[in-house]
Chains A and B, each alone.
Chain A
Amino acid sequence: DQQVKQNSPSLSVQEGRISILNCDYTNSMFDYFLWYKKYPAEGPTFLISISSIKDKNEDGRFTVFLNKSAKHLSLHIVPSQPGDSAVYFCAAKRDTGTASKLTFGTGTRLQVTL
């Protein structure tokens, strides 16, 4: 039962353009959403997050949008840079009381071309 889905396994964008990565979820109990970036042979690196009570969070070139009614979130990167080429994981958090349990999507590989 895949509760967090990233339906695009890969995305190619030209340098300077906008990259839009999408994520869908099914569990309405998720209260916090995160995006992680992963380079080969490294661990996931936290990028940006958004609480379920908000619909937008912006940090520099990165903006995350949340549409709760559609159970959909997206990550916008603008302008895209070659160093942004990586695998991006969407994650959703459900509170267990004493710890956060993250459910990850399968990732989208972003390639930013020159």
Chain B
Amino acid sequence: DTAVSQTPKYLVTQMGNDKSIKCEQNLGHDTMYWYKQDSKKFLKIMFSYNNKELIINETVPNRFSPKSPDKAHLNLHINSLELGDSAVYFCASSRRQGVTDTQYFGPGTRLTVL
């Protein structure tokens, strides 16, 4: 009965490969997010989808492409992986409640690019 789940938890791959990370939430939320936590522990937003529509797109290389097949899922596809993509990627979701819009996070996917 995990609220926000991600697969895989660990991902080790070679430079140049294409990989995907999946995220699902069973909270009935309408907004989902992808965050990247780099080696300096900064947690920075990458994308946000609301009802399957892209609403936040930070300065992220276009090798990263989010896909939202429905409100409960937001997947992240990464093309031509580079060493600098190594990080922990967190998915999150929220339901808009006026000002109080609390985001709930998944367990993270640790991506290592060799």
Contacts and interface: CB of A to CB of B under 8 A. Distances in A.
Whether A associates with B in a native complex is: yes
Interface of A: 31-32, 34, 36, 41-46, 49, 51, 87, 89, 93, 95-96, 98-102, 104, 106-107
A107 B55 contact: no
B55 A96 contact: yes
Contacts of B55: 96, 98-99
Contacts of B56: 96, 99, 101
A51 B31 CA distance: 20
Interface of B: 4, 31, 33, 40-45, 48, 50, 55-56, 90, 92, 94, 96, 99-108
B100 to A, nearest CB: 7
Nearest to B107: A43
Contacts of B102: 34, 46, 49
Which of A36, A51, A100, A107 has its CB near the most chain B CB atoms (within 10 A)? A100
Contacts, number: 66
B99 A46 contact: no
A49 B104 CA distance: 13
A104 B33 CA distance: 14
Nearest to A9: B41
A43 B106 contact: yes
Contact of A101 (B45, B99, B105, B108): B45
A104 B104 contact: no
B108 A42 contact: yes
Contacts of B41: 87, 106-107
Nearest to B90: A43
A111 to B, nearest CB: 16
A36 B40 CA distance: 17
Nearest to A31: B99
A51 B99 CA distance: 8
Contacts of A95: 99
B109 to A, nearest CB: 10
